[in-house]
Structure 1
Amino acid sequence: MQPSIYVVDDDKSVGRALCRVLGAHGRRAIQYESAEKFLAEADILGKCVCVIVDLLLPCMDGLALQAALGRDVPIIVLTGHPDVPSAVRALAAGAVDFLVKPVDESVLLAAVDRAMSKADEATRRRQELNILRARLDRLTKREHEVMLLVAEGLMNKQVANLLGTVEKTIKVHRARVMQKLEVDSLPALVRAVDRLNLDETAQSPPPPLVKPAQP
């Protein structure tokens, strides 16, 4: 069974304690002692997971790890030395919660439940977008052009004029677009196009992490 929760804390005893608590409540957790090791070894791409990270890790700290993972991975930040600016930064960047050690078990579990709910939703959206992309690949180049123009609100006659063809041909292309994308109305088509455009923006690859040079 794959772990659903990753605990990143340089204090081994804290990491073990958190994993025991989570395990006792049916959540498999695995611990890492550094953000660098976690990024190098943890297999989380496309998985339904959350990360519990200590704020004051050596080298790459908790906020830097949060930035490296992005908003798609739900983060819970833990710290024994809370400060308001760090809490504000973490929450503004999408952290599910900012908790102070020693954390109450019920508070931790509630935060993990929220994080996993967020992870489930992100996984569902990702799966739906993958299906939508697969449907988009069925379109011909001309059908793709028609789809974009129709989604902008242009009438069939206007689309025909722009593409240098006749309205009857556009009607055929439009029907095929609807069929291949498996949508049954213009609003549904517009939503599908909007989701694909939003996804292209959200999926822009982040700059690669630079590993420290080996001595």
Structure 2
Amino acid sequence: MRIHIIEDDDALRTALARLLGACGYRVDVHASAEAFLRAGTGGEAGCILLDVDMPGLGGLELQDRLRASGSILPIVFLTGNGSIAMSVRAIKAGAEDFLSKPVGKEALLDAIGRAMRRYETAAARDSLLSDLRGRAAMLTAREREVFALVVRGLLNKQIAFELGNTERTVKAHRRSLMEKLGAGSLAELVQMANRLGVSDPGHGAVQ
């Protein structure tokens, strides 16, 4: 895993890179948020060690941009004069920690360790969701409609009436969609619908 250090203080940036490198981490250093955005992450696993106060794009603004882009890289903030309100905002927006400079080695490594574990959890969750979306893409239009009505709690005969089909046909669609999604029960089907996001259950639209 790789740690991206985004810090405008040259001496501190170098010291952090040496410390983390000595601890076995791969490290990329960036003197500004803009430099980090230009370099990109290449989709590599890791986390971000981010200064709050920098010329140009600040740490909190970069956090907002990364969050909007769907990045799952956890952020550990460093600040020399951060307020409680600032730290609360950062944590609410998903930051792993908000550390004050100068930060001790143990506190820093502990925060980074938690950030790395958080990344692994998020990456696994994204992988499972991607797989589920792939299976959902195999559903026919009618199966999508049945799927949405089933997770609303409608019985087969109610779904048949809603769609103008026979109950036997609905049962066939239900069996087929459960096989395609890999659902073994109604409870699993509801959980899958929640993860996929049924935008309009009444019309069977699955995002």
TM-score with structure 2 setting the length = 0.90
Mapping for residues 128-147 of structure 1, pairs under 5 Å: 128-147=128-147
Structure 1 residue 198: Cα displacement:
8.1
| Contiguous gaps of at least 5 residues in structure 1 | 200-215
1:110 and 1:74 map into 2 onto residues whose CA distance is: 13
Q: Percent of counterpart pairs with the same letter?
A: 42
- Counterpart in the other structure of 1:162: 162
- Counterpart in the other structure of 2:89: 89
2:97 and 2:21 map into 1 onto residues whose CA distance is: 20
- Counterpart in the other structure of 1:26: 24
2:12 and 2:54 map into 1 onto residues whose CA distance is: 13
1:151 and 1:19 map into 2 onto residues whose CA distance is: 51
Matched, 1:120 2:120: yes
- Counterpart in the other structure of 2:186: 186
TM-score with structure 1 setting the length = 0.86
Matched, 1:38 2:36: yes
C-alpha RMSD of matched pairs (Å): 1.6
Q: Deviations along 1:140-196, whole A, 9 cap, x unmatched?
A: 111111111101111100111011000000000000001000111110011001001
Q: Match of 2:138, SS?
A: coil
- Counterpart in the other structure of 2:62: 65
**Closer, same or farther in 2 for the Cα pair 1:198/1:100, shift >3 Å?**
farther
1:138 and 1:85 map into 2 onto residues whose CA distance is: 47
- Counterpart in the other structure of 1:202: none
- Counterpart in the other structure of 1:175: 175
| Contiguous gaps of at least 5 residues in structure 2 | 200-207
- Counterpart in the other structure of 2:11: 13
- Counterpart in the other structure of 2:149: 149
Matched, 1:52 2:46: no
Q: Which has the higher strand share?
A: 2
Runs of 4+ in 1 over 4 A off after TM superposition: none
**Closer, same or farther in 2 for the Cα pair 1:112/1:41, shift >3 Å?**
same
- Counterpart in the other structure of 1:74: 74
Matched, 1:103 2:103: yes
1:77 and 1:198 map into 2 onto residues whose CA distance is: 35
Structure 1 residue 92: Cα displacement:
2.0
1:44 and 1:58 map into 2 onto residues whose CA distance is: 25
Moved more, 178-187 or 23-32: 23-32
2:124 and 2:133 map into 1 onto residues whose CA distance is: 14
- Counterpart in the other structure of 2:202: none
**Closer, same or farther in 2 for the Cα pair 1:65/1:198, shift >3 Å?**
farther
Q: Match of 1:138, SS?
A: coil
Structure 1 residue 81: Cα displacement:
1.9
